[in-house]
C-alpha cells in the first residue's frame, strides 16, 4: 500500500482563486480594498519568512497589506499603542501580530487588545468563545486549513475517531472544538461530528490511542514524533508540524515510513502550511465584509 499524498498546494491554489474572485466582487460593490496589517517585532528569521508569505498571498488575491516592523526592544505600551491605532484605522480590515513576541512582552495582553472584528487569527477571547459555541466570526487559520484539506480530498470526519496530538491554543484546542460541532461553518456536517481525543505530553498509553484513530492530526512540535507503529493501517494523517533540523524541514511525523502504512498523509513542506496563509486571506475578506455592514 502506498498512501495518497494530500498536496496542500493544490488545495490552496483552488481556494485562493475563489477568494480572489470574491475580493474583486467586494471591491466593485463597496469601493473598499480589504487590507491586512501585520506587526513584526524583532528579527526572527522564521517570522520574517511567514510575514513575507502573507504579504505575497495578499497581493495574489487582490488585497492590500501593510507591514509594521518594530524594534526588538519595543515596550509593551508602545506595542499596545500601535494595536490601538490599527483598531481605529478604517483602512485596516485585519490585524496580525506575528508570534512569538520577544520574552519581555506580554503576548496575551497584546492579542486581547486587538478589536475582535479585526482579529483575523481568531485569538481574541471573544472569538474563541464564539467558536466554542459553534457561531464563530472567524475560524482559526491552521485548523480551518486542516478541514479544507480533508474536504478537498473527500475525507469526511463525521462518525470518525479523530486523535489530535497537541493541545495548543493555535491548533489542538480549536481544531477539537471545530470537529466536535454538529456542522462545519464552511464545509457542512460531513466535516464535523467527529469523536475527538486530544493527547499531549502527559497522556499515558499514547500509542494505543493514536493507533485507534481513523484520522490522526500531529501538532506536537517534535520532529518525526509519529512513527509507523503509532498509526492505524489506512488512517488519514495530517501533519501540522514544521521543524528545522540539520537535514532540513520536516514535520511531526516520520513521513517516509508512514507512506507504507497510512491511507493518506500530508507532506511537509507543501501541506497544511499553505492552507494556513490561505485561510488568513479568507478571514481578512470576512473582516472587511463585517466592517462594511
**Measured between alpha carbons, how far is 264 from 258 in angstroms, rounded to an integer?**
9
The DSSP annotation for 163-179 comes to EEE---TTTHHHHHHHH
In the annotation, is 54 catalytic? yes
**Annotated catalytic residue, options 117, 118, 119, 121:** 121
Please give the angle made by the CA atoms of 280, 282 and 288, to the nearest 5 degrees.
100
| Annotated binding residues for NADP(+) | 166-168, 242
- Is 9:259 a contact under the CB 8 Å cutoff? no
C-alpha cell at 97: 501580530
Integer angstrom CA distances of residue 52 from 30, 55, 59 = 28, 5, 11
Evaluate the CA torsion angle 236, 161, 242, 67 in order and state its sign: positive
- Is 61:35 a contact under the CB 8 Å cutoff? no
Give, rounded to a whole angstrom, the gap between the first and last alpha carbons of the chain.
Answer: 52
**Annotated catalytic residue, options 54, 117, 224, 232:** 54
| Annotated binding residues | 166-168, 242
In the annotation, is 98 catalytic? yes
**Measured between alpha carbons, how far is 179 from 161 in angstroms, rounded to an integer?**
10
Show which residues are catalytic.
54, 98, 121
Amino acid at each position: 500500500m502506498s498512501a495518497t499524498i494530500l498536496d496542500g498546494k493544490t488545495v490552496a491554489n483552488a481556494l485562493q482563486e475563489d477568494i480572489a474572485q470574491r475580493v474583486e466582487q467586494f471591491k466593485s460593490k463597496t469601493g473598499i480594498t480589504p487590507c491586512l496589517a501585520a506587526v513584526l517585532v524583532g528579527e526572527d528569521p522564521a517570522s520574517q519568512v511567514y510575514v513575507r508569505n502573507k504579504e505575497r498571498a495578499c497581493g495574489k488575491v487582490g488585497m492590500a497589506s501593510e507591514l509594521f516592523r518594530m524594534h526588538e526592544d519595543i515596550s509593551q505600551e508602545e506595542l499596545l499603542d500601535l494595536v490601538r491605532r490599527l483598531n481605529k484605522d478604517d483602512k485596516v480590515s485585519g490585524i496580525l501580530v506575528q508570534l512569538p513576541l520577544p520574552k519581555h512582552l506580554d503576548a496575551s495582553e497584546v492579542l486581547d487588545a486587538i478589536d475582535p472584528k479585526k482579529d483575523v487569527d481568531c485569538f481574541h477571547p471573544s472569538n474563541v468563545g464564539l467558536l466554542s459555541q459553534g457561531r464563530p466570526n472567524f475560524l482559526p487559520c491552521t485548523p480551518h486549513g486542516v478541514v479544507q484539506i480533508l474536504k478537498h480530498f473527500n475525507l469526511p470526519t463525521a462518525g470518525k475517531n479523530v486523535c489530535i496530538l497537541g493541545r495548543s491554543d493555535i491548533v489542538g484546542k480549536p481544531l477539537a472544538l471545530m470537529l466536535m460541532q454538529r456542522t462545519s461553518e464552511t464545509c457542512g456536517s460531513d466535516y464535523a461530528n467527529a469523536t475527538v481525543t486530544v493527547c499531549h505530553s502527559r497522556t499515558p498509553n499514547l500509542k494505543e490511542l493514536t493507533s485507534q484513530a481513523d484520522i490522526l492530526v500531529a501538532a506536537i512540535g517534535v520532529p518525526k514524533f509519529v512513527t509507523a507503529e503509532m498509526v492505524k493501517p489506512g488512517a488519514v494523517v495530517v501533519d501540522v508540524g514544521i521543524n528545522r533540523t540539520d537535514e532540513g524541514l520536516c514535520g511531526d511525523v516520520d513521513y517516509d515510513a508512514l507512506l507504507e502504512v497510512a491511507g493518506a498523509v500530508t507532506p511537509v513542506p507543501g501541506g497544511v502550511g499553505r492552507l494556513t496563509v490561505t485561510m488568513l486571506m479568507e478571514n481578512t475578506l470576512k473582516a472587511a465584509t463585517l466592517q462594511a455592514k
